[in-house]
C-alpha cells in the first residue's frame, strides 16, 4: 500500500500507512518501505523529508541499499545539489556498497555538470577496474562532457575507447551519434561527420536539419546552397529518407537566400514549393521573408506577406512587426512606420532593440518623440537611479541610494497606473552595480530578495547578470542555482551563459589548485 500511494503521489496517505504499520501493528518497516517513501518524497522534490526518512532508517539500524543511494543521488543531481551527491556517494562507500552502473553514471554526470572531466574519467576508470560493464549512457556522458569543455580530441578518444571495448557489445544510439557528429564537425573532420550522419540520417528530420545547418555555414555562395537544396529535395522525392521535408527544412534555406544573399526570387521559389507540398509556413518563415523584402526596400511585398500571414491565422510577433517597420523605414515613410509600431504596442507587444534601431534610422537626429511612447514614471525613475549609481564613489553610497529607492517605493504605493509600478530595470541596475562595480554578491542578493518581496519577476537579462557575476566571483554553485531558477521560469539558457559557466568553473578549479 505504501508503494502504491507513493507511486500515485499520495505521500500523506503513504505516511499514515507507514505509521500505522509501525506504531499500531508493531510491524517494523524494511528497506523496501523506506525506499518507497524516499523515492516518493524525492519525486516531489521534498528532499529534506527524503533525507529525514533516510536518517530514520539508519537510526533503526536498517542498512540502506544501492537502490536507495541511487535514488537520492539521482534526485539531488536533478536539483543540481552537487555537493550532496558527492556526500551520499562517500556514505555509500562507507557501507561497503559497491556502486552499480546506474550510480556511476549519475556520479559521472555530476562531474560533467561541473566541467570536471578529470574526476569523471577517474570514476570511469573505477568502473573498468571494478569489472562493471559500462553502457552507452556512460560513454555519451563522457563524450558530452569533453564537448562542453571544448576538448574535441579527448571527445574523439572516448569514441575510440567505445570501439576498443568490443567485448562489452555496446551499440551507439542516436543521441550518442549526434554528439559524435558534433565532435567531428568541431574538429573539422567532415568526412567522418558525413559517415556518422549517414548512420543516423534515417532516424528523423531533426538529425537532417542539424546537419544541413552545418553544411549551410560551410557554403560560401548561393549557387552551391541552391544545388544542396535541390539535391536533398530530390532525395526526399526518391524516398531516400523515412520522413518527409518539414517547415524547418525549407525555412533554413529560405533564411539563407533572403537574409544572407538577399535573393528574394529564390526565397519565394522555396516558399511556393513548400506551400505546394501543403507544408504550412510558420511565423519564423514569414518574418524572414518580410525582413528580406525590407532589406531590398520592397515595401509592397513586405506588406503583402504580412497580410498573408494574418490570412493564415498566424499572429505577428515582435520580430514580424520589426521587419515591417524596417520596410517602411527603408522608403522613409514615417507615418506607416508609426502605424505599425502603434499596432504592435496596442497588442501589448514590447519593442526589442532591433525595433528601436529601425526607428532611429528613420530620424537619426531626433529622439523619436512622435513614434515611441513617452517613458513611464517607473522607466524615468530607472534612468534616474542608474545615473546616480554609476557616479557613486563607494559601496556605502550605493547602500544609501538603495534605501532611498526602497523608501520611494513605499511612499508611492498604491500606484495610480500599472506602468508606474516599480520596474525590474531599476533593481537590475542596483544588482549589476553591486556585482560588477563593487564585486559584492551578498548585497546583490539582498536587492534580489527585496525585488521578489514586491512580486517582481526576474527577467532573462537579470539571470544572465547573476550567472556572469557569480562565475566572476568564483561562486560557481550559486550560478548553477540561478540556471535552475531560469528553467523554472521557462527561460532557456543560451551559449553566452554556458560560456560564462565554463570560465567560472575553470577559475574555481585554478583557485582550488593554488
Q: What are the residue ranges spanned by the domains of the chain?
A: 133-200, 377-513
CATH of 377-513, one of 2.40.50.100, 3.40.50.300, 1.25.40.10, 2.40.50.140: 1.25.40.10
pLDDT score at 4: 66
pLDDT score at 281: 93
pLDDT tens column, 281-333:
999 999 999 999 998 999 999 999 999 998 888 889 888 999 999 999 988 89
pLDDT score at 124: 92
Choose the most confident range, by mean pLDDT, from 105-114, 253-262, 361-370, 383-392. Answer: 253-262
Reported pTM? 0.46
Residue 462 host element (H or E) = helix 460-472
pLDDT score at 421: 52
Residue 365 has pLDDT above 60, yes or no: no
pLDDT score at 477: 80
Q: Give me the percent of the chain exceeding a pLDDT of 70.
A: 82
How far CA 117 is from CA of 47, 77, 143, 146, in Å, comes to: 27, 17, 10, 7
- Give the distance from CA 165 to its chain's centroid: 34
pLDDT score at 486: 87
pLDDT score at 18: 73
pLDDT score at 16: 77
In this structure, is the dihedral angle defined by the CA atoms of residues 429, 461, 319 and 350, taken in order, positive or negative?
Answer: negative
CA–CA distance, 172 with 328 (Å, rounded to integer): 53
pLDDT score at 70: 78
Per-residue confidence at 229, pLDDT binned at 50, 70, 90?
very high
pLDDT score at 320: 92
Per-residue confidence at 276, pLDDT binned at 50, 70, 90?
very high
CB neighbour list of residue 414: distance below 8 Å, 6 or more residues apart? none
42 burial class (0-12, 13-18, 19+ CB within 10 angstroms)? buried
Quick check: 114 and 505 in contact, CB under 8 A?
A: yes
Q: How many CA atoms lie within 13 A of 387 on its CB side?
A: 6
CB neighbour list of residue 323: distance below 8 Å, 6 or more residues apart? 287, 290, 291, 294, 302
pLDDT score at 234: 93
pLDDT score at 230: 94
Please indicate whether residue 85 or residue 345 has the higher confidence score (pLDDT). 345
CA–CA distance, 35 with 401 (Å, rounded to integer): 53
Q: Give me the percent of the chain exceeding a pLDDT of 90.
A: 23
Query: Maximum distance among all alpha carbons in the chain?
Result: 86
Neighbours of 358 (CB within 10 A): 24
pLDDT tens column, 436-461:
888 999 999 999 998 888 888 898 88
Quick check: 476 and 442 in contact, CB under 8 A?
A: no
In this structure, the chain runs to a length of: 514
Per-residue confidence at 79, pLDDT binned at 50, 70, 90?
low
Per-residue confidence at 418, pLDDT binned at 50, 70, 90?
very low
CA–CA distance, 496 with 209 (Å, rounded to integer): 23
Q: How many CA atoms lie within 13 A of 452 on its CB side?
A: 8
Per-residue confidence at 368, pLDDT binned at 50, 70, 90?
very low
Query: Considering the chain, what is the average pLDDT of its residues?
Result: 81
pLDDT tens column, 491-513:
887 766 776 677 666 666 666 66
Per-residue confidence at 185, pLDDT binned at 50, 70, 90?
confident
CA–CA distance, 392 with 503 (Å, rounded to integer): 29
Amino acid at each position: 500500500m505504501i508503494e502504491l500511494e507513493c507511486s500515485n503521489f499520495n505521500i500523506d496517505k503513504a505516511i499514515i500507512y507507514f505509521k500505522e504499520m509501525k506504531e499500531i501493528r508493531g510491524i517494523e518497516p524494511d528497506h523496501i518501505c523506506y525506499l518507497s517513501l524516499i523515492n516518493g518524497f524525492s519525486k516531489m522534490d521534498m528532499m529534506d523529508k527524503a533525507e529525514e526518512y533516510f536518517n530514520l532508517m539508519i537510526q533503526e539500524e536498517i542498512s540502506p541499499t544501492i537502490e536507495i543511494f541511487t535514488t537520492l543521488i539521482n534526485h539531488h543531481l536533478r536539483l543540481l545539489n552537487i555537493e550532496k551527491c558527492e556526500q551520499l556517494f562517500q556514505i555509500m562507500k562507507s557501507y561497503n556498497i559497491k556502486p552499480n552502473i546506474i550510480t556511476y553514471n549519475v556520479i559521472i554526470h555530476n562531474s560533467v555538470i561541473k566541467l570536471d572531466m578529470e574526476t569523471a574519467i577517474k570514476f570511469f576508470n573505477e568502473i573498468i577496474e571494478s569489472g562493471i560493464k559500462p553502457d552507452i549512457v556512460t560513454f555519451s556522458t563522457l563524450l558530452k562532457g569533453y564537448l562542453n569543455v571544448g576538448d574535441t580530441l579527448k571527445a574523439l578518444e572516448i569514441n575510440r575507447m567505445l570501439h576498443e571495448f568490443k567485448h562489452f557489445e555496446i551499440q551507439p544510439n542516436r543521441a550518442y551519434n549526434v554528439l559524435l557528429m558534433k565532435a567531428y564537425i568541431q574538429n573539422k573532420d567532415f568526412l567522418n561527420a558525413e559517415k556518422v550522419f549517414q548512420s543516423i540520417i534515417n532516424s528523423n528530420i531533426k538529425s537532417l536539419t542539424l546537419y544541413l545547418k552545418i553544411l549551410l555555414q560551410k557554403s560560401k555562395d548561393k549557387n552551391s546552397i541552391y544545388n544542396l537544396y535541390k539535391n536533398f529535395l530530390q532525395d526526399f522525392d526518391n524516398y531516400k529518407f523515412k520522413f518527409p521535408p518539414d517547415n524547418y527544412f525549407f525555412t533554413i534555406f529560405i533564411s539563407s537566400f533572403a537574409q544572407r544573399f538577399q535573393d528574394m526570387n529564390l526565397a519565394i521559389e522555396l516558399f511556393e514549393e513548400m506551400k505546394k507540398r501543403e507544408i504550412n509556413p510558420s511565423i519564423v518563415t514569414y518574418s524572414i521573408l518580410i525582413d528580406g523584402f525590407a532589406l531590398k526596400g520592397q515595401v509592397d511585398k513586405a506588406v503583402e506577406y504580412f497580410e498573408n500571414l494574418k490570412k493564415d491565422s498566424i499572429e505577428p510577433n515582435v520580430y514580424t512587426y520589426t521587419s515591417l517597420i524596417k520596410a517602411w523605414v527603408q522608403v522613409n515613410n514615417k507615418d506607416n512606420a508609426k502605424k505599425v509600431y502603434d499596432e504592435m504596442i496596442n497588442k501589448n507587444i514590447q519593442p526589442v532593440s532591433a525595433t528601436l534601431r529601425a526607428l532611429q534610422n528613420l530620424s537619426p537626429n531626433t529622439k523619436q518623440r512622435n513614434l515611441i511612447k513617452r517613458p513611464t514614471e517607473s522607466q524615468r525613475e530607472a534612468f534616474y537611479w542608474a545615473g546616480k549609481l554609476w557616479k557613486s564613489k563607494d559601496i556605502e553610497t550605493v547602500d544609501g541610494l538603495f534605501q532611498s529607492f526602497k523608501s520611494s517605493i513605499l511612499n508611492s504605493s498604491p500606484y495610480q497606473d500599472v506602468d508606474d509600478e516599480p520596474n525590474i530595470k531599476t533593481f537590475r541596475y542596483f544588482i549589476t552595480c553591486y556585482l560588477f562595480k563593487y564585486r559584492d554578491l551578498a548585497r546583490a542578493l539582498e536587492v534580489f530578495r527585496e525585488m521578489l518581496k514586491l512580486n517582481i519577476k526576474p527577467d532573462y537579462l537579470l539571470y544572465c547578470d547573476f550567472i556572469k557575476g557569480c562565475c566572476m566571483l568564483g561562486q560557481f554553485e550559486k550560478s548553477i542555482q540561478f540556471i535552475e531558477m531560469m528553467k523554472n521560469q521557462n527561460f532557456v539558457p543560451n551559449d553566452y551563459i554556458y560560456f560564462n559557466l565554463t570560465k567560472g568553473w575553470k577559475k574555481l578549479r585554478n583557485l582550488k589548485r593554488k
